[in-house]
Structure 1
Amino acid sequence: MAFTDQSSEVSANRKRSMISETEQRRLVSFFLEITVGETVATARRFLAATSWNLDEAILLFYSGYQKDYAAEDEVDAPLTHDPAWEQGQGGDSPRSTGDSASVYKPPFDLMFNGSLHQAKSAASEEDKWLIVNLQSREELASHTLNRDTWGDEVVAETITNNFVFLQVEHDASDGQKIHTFYNVETLPVVLVIDPITGQRMRLWYGMIEGETLLEELVPFMDVGPKQQLLHKKRHPRSTAEEQNPSLETVPETETPSLETLTLSEKDQTNAMPMFPPLPQEPIVGDPRLLCRVGFRFPDGRRLVRSFLKTEPIQLLWSFCHSQIQESEMKPFKLVETTTPRSANTIHYDSDQTFEQSGLANSIVLLSWE
């Protein structure tokens, strides 16, 4: 894609003439803060191509058009850091422009100010889990995490009150440690770490929506790392299970889940039965061979899943068990609703298949017993 369209060139020039030189420099500076290592000429070309819309320019840059819009003959050194990054908008720039640029900045108000070791110490002292976000400025998902997830007021407040949050660049010293010890495969990544043992409790790759993140952080808000450690001492497991990965040892590939570490003796007495393995969802051309069932979960989620009509209805429990974290701590029951006034409890010990049960196109409600 080259700048051969004269009408597009004229439009960009008109738009640029409407923006002051000061504002242009601010936009270029913000662009270079995000696209580290690029030149002023490249920044101006991307901004001009998108009528000086910073968001669109950044998205265009990360869409694979770097070579098309890179300056051919002009080479400029990147601008130095613009104080406006921390100060937000200022001077005679329009408010919308300042807001658009500032949303990509790291969440300074949320971040722990210190090293990984200091963050672990602080989290351990406060009995909070440590959330680590390992970033790369070269990945668009890192910037959208800053804008959409860490910039969400509810997410920020929840993390501030319940966790210690550390954001690290992958090429920093602490970033390299995290990358190695926790076998990070791609960037960005968000980890929940036990600050006492260094054990990796949870991991998400790429962009994760704020609502999804909050749902999956709920178990960590119910039980702190000290309480978990106390439970483990009272209920010791096998030697192999007791080995926790830390920054001093290479972590295991699979880490025990939080739920298995927080079962009380009463919960263990009422342990869930072993559900049959859940096969892969069938993909069959003939819909007459399938039974589609809708599910509603206590947290409001709604899912739809297909089963073969010849499969046993116990797979309903297998599917629900795979979708909820509390399943190992709380027994649950399933209720079929075909009409608003009709509700029938589904019994696990039934020997019916999906075809015999008549569950096709019904809604199954999950509720805690």
Structure 2
Amino acid sequence: MSDFVDDEAILNFVEVTGADPDVAKSYLTVAEGRVEQAISLFMENGGAPLTSEIPERPQTSSSAASSTSSLPREPEEVRAPIAPKREALFSNDGPSFHRGGGRRAQPVSTIPGLPPSPFMQEPLGPIIPSIANDRNSRLAELFRPPTDIIHDANTLEHAREYAKHHNKWVIVTLNDPSEFGCQVMNRDLWKDSAVQDLIKENFIFIYWGADSPPGRNHRALYPVDSYPYVAIIDPITGERMKTWSTTMTPAEFMQDASEFLARHSLHLPAPARKKKKTVTPAGQRPVTELSEEEQLELALAASMGQTKVAPAADQDETADEVEAMEDVVPSTNVFDTIEPILNEEPTGSDAVRIQFRLPDGTRKVRRFRKTDPVRTLFQYVRADVPEARAKPFELMNFRDPLLPRINDSVEDAKLAGASITVDFQ
């Protein structure tokens, strides 16, 4: 059975359980190289090393009598007591039981189409409390899929329609229970509160099993080279905009996702402004809009030295053209009211960290109070960035401009821990 065990499986076992490599190898050998089953067995067995030794059976009185009759009697010796041993009996196919007598929970899937995994368990009946059961519960909770943010779409088309309606991107991740990296993503990335807030605000999160029907359909449309697999899909065109194929920390994912949202937008372009029509000062119609007869009359009058006024346009049409020429009254320039003020950086529990990304790629990090108005952020940028003192700029929180919310507080604008882009006009 040792052929099933490789160094990678031993490292994965040791990373989760903290056991010695020799203990990991023994459990993996019994589980025929299956890491999940070996970890489950280790937890049930209370972390004790496995042993294949069988205590020597004491001789019966009849056998002892026969042996003593055939052999010369020797002085009797007191044998040392047999050391206590703990052994676990299990079957690859049948159910196993706790030492307390309760039946062990069977692996089930809480996500449609996701194959069974020892990290997701549901009890089949009453279980007698035991230390192993508590550890299994903690292990199942540790690697549980992120049900708080999963959208229940069964097809990518349904997810795209929902995302278009709510003006959000679609993010798809495929879970392969045989890949330990997928379980690490469940444990470390998807349950991070900052990551969940980012996903809820900007994405529709789809979580499918790699071998489930929707997972197979997705792999047929978008080739998947390795796992873990995470992709961002454009809900309008269906184009795969970005992919990840390695495990990520929450900070790395937040950085990549924020940069993606800063570069791409789902907002439709604003309609083109209607071209203004030119109106003569006297309200006359332009020559190009006259009929052939009217143009001929004007030409004859000009050749004879007479002055003929072009027919005036209809009163309603002239009014519409004049209205079209009127410019929209510009709004008050808020930058005239923003002073470059560099306030003292606060500390304490009320302070939040905000990052500013400049067009040249540099980054600035500053702390603000939750009660500070958004105007304070503009004042800081104008005071700390030389270019911002002479040029108007906008602060973008992903796709949302902050200038309309200049009087809101940092907490109301949900800017705690945000990465804001400085966009010069």
TM-score (norm 2): 0.38
Taking CA–CA contacts closer than 8 Å with sequence separation of 6 or more, which of the two structures ends up with the larger relative contact order?
A: 1
TM-score (norm 1): 0.43
| Bigger Rg, structure 1 or 2 | 2
